[in-house]
Amino acid sequence: MNRRVVVLIPAHNEEASIGATLQSVAAQKLRPDTVLVVADNCTDQTATVAAEHGADVMLTVGNTGKKAGALNQALATILPQLDDRDIVLVMDADTVIAPEFLVIADAELAKPDVGAVGGVFYGKPGFGLIGALQVAEYVRYARQIARNGSRAHVLTGTATAFTARMLGQVAAGREDGRLPAGPGTYYDEKTMTEDSYMTFAVKTLGYQTPSPMGCWVSTEVMPTWPMLWRQRRRWQLGAMENLRSFGFWTPVTRAYTARQIVSLCEVIFFVAYATTSIASGVTGTYRVIPFWVGIGILFWLERIVSVRKAGPKYMLIASLMLIEMGYGTFLKAVSLYGYAKVIRNREISWA
């Protein structure tokens, strides 16, 4: 018997994008049995547009847990009707997924050691330079996933498929102490990054979390620097929060902690290099060292080659090192903010 497929799309004021999202779901080669848009505290026409595109619509009631809370309300209704083998695809309302996404996810989830299948996300073009920098960043990340054997660091919140059994095991683990507890049955409603929480949860329960390259998704990028700062602040603080709750050095989390340490070392090296360069330039003691010139050229070429999939426009932007270094500095500033919060033992929360 074929397993059922349910698509859950939490949406808050997404009337402009929900139509394209639902069209990509309708174009799936493995057609879902149910498509449910969870309209969460919407003040626009999200629910109306979703219904016009053939989706079922559920309105949240008294939800204060943001995306995680909306999903918990929907799962409480949907999961009792599903068998363990059935598939639940959770995706964002501003995301378009590959036509083969559900076919590939179905094949992967048939493997007994796979608990969830994540997408590989790319940025939608637009919003000038800031948009182009994010598109290039996402292309580089997708390249890393491909070179890592389709293993992503995190099950992306843009689109991830679970078995119903896996979601039930997460709920049980949160109740019996195998997983960090918190508000909410399935998704933790306290964490700012439900995707990293679910990644750690699935892996802690002993399952694999592949992200096949064929499961690509296209999602919106941030249109302004303040919005990008808020997004990346949330990502960084949420990641640190989840590392803290699961433990910084467990078999599941130590690779993530190691990456954070490497990232911190990169920040320290960058600050030291920039400070030394500026000081030597001011004092007139700057010297050209062939070894470091060679390293700089290799870095410059890598930045260009790694975005070739995005096209000539993005390769040209990548060739302008001042822009690349400026964007890198922005991202490092976000990381430093997160490290400072953890070092000072400040509570990490939505507020």
CA distance 161 to 202: 12
pLDDT confidence tier of residue 345, bands split at 50, 70 and 90: low
pLDDT tens across 121-152, in order?
999 999 999 999 999 999 999 999 999 999 88
181/313 same-domain check: no
CA distance 145 to 142: 5
pLDDT confidence tier of residue 346, bands split at 50, 70 and 90: low
Mean pLDDT of 231-258: 91
Q: Which amino acid is at 335?
A: S
Tally of domains in the chain? 2
Query: 18-22, 67-71, 338-342 — which is least confidently predicted?
Result: 338-342
150/19 same-domain check: yes
272/170 same-domain check: no
38 within a domain of the structure (yes/no):
yes
In this structure, the number of other CB atoms found within 10 A of the CB of residue 96 comes to 24
pLDDT confidence tier of residue 350, bands split at 50, 70 and 90: very low
236 within a domain of the structure (yes/no):
no
Kindly report the pTM of this predicted structure: 0.90
Mean pLDDT of 113-118: 97
CA distance 171 to 197: 13
pLDDT confidence tier of residue 274, bands split at 50, 70 and 90: confident
% of the chain at pLDDT higher than 90: 74
138/69 same-domain check: yes
349 within a domain of the structure (yes/no):
no
DSSP notation for 220-241: PPPSSHHHHHHHHHHHHHHHHH
Out of 223, 242, 262, pick the residue that ends a domain. 223
170/277 same-domain check: no
pLDDT tens across 208-222, in order?
999 999 999 999 999
242 within a domain of the structure (yes/no):
no
CA distance 145 to 215: 12
169/279 same-domain check: no
9/142 same-domain check: yes
325 within a domain of the structure (yes/no):
yes
CB 183, CB 189: distance < 8 Å: yes
- Please name the residue that has the structure tokens 């050229």: 297
For 208-230, b where at least 16 C-beta lie within 10 A, e where not — what string? ebbbbeebbbbbbbbeeeeebbe
219/267 same-domain check: no
Query: H helices within 27-65, ranges in order?
Result: 46-52
Task: Give the domain range for residue 282.
Answer: 254-343
> What size, in residues, is the chain?
351
12/153 same-domain check: yes
Asked whether the predicted pLDDT for residue 351 surpasses 80, the reply is: no
Residue 96's CATH number: 3.90.550.10
Out of 223, 243, 276, pick the residue that ends a domain. 223
288/187 same-domain check: no
Query: 5-14, 32-41, 232-241 — which is least confidently predicted?
Result: 232-241
Q: What is the mean pLDDT of the chain?
A: 91
Q: What value does the CA radius of gyration of the chain take, rounded to a whole number of Å?
A: 21
Closest CA relative to residue 209, chosen from 122, 109, 87: 109
Q: Which amino acid is at 346?
A: R
307 within a domain of the structure (yes/no):
yes
pLDDT confidence tier of residue 114, bands split at 50, 70 and 90: very high
219/259 same-domain check: no
Closest CA relative to residue 46, chosen from 59, 34, 33, 35: 59
Asked whether the predicted pLDDT for residue 188 surpasses 90, the reply is: yes
204/148 same-domain check: yes
pLDDT tens across 64-113, in order?
999 999 999 999 999 999 999 999 999 999 999 999 999 999 999 999 99
CB 324, CB 307: distance < 8 Å: no
85 within a domain of the structure (yes/no):
yes
Out of 223, 242, 268, pick the residue that ends a domain. 223
pLDDT confidence tier of residue 1, bands split at 50, 70 and 90: low
231 within a domain of the structure (yes/no):
no
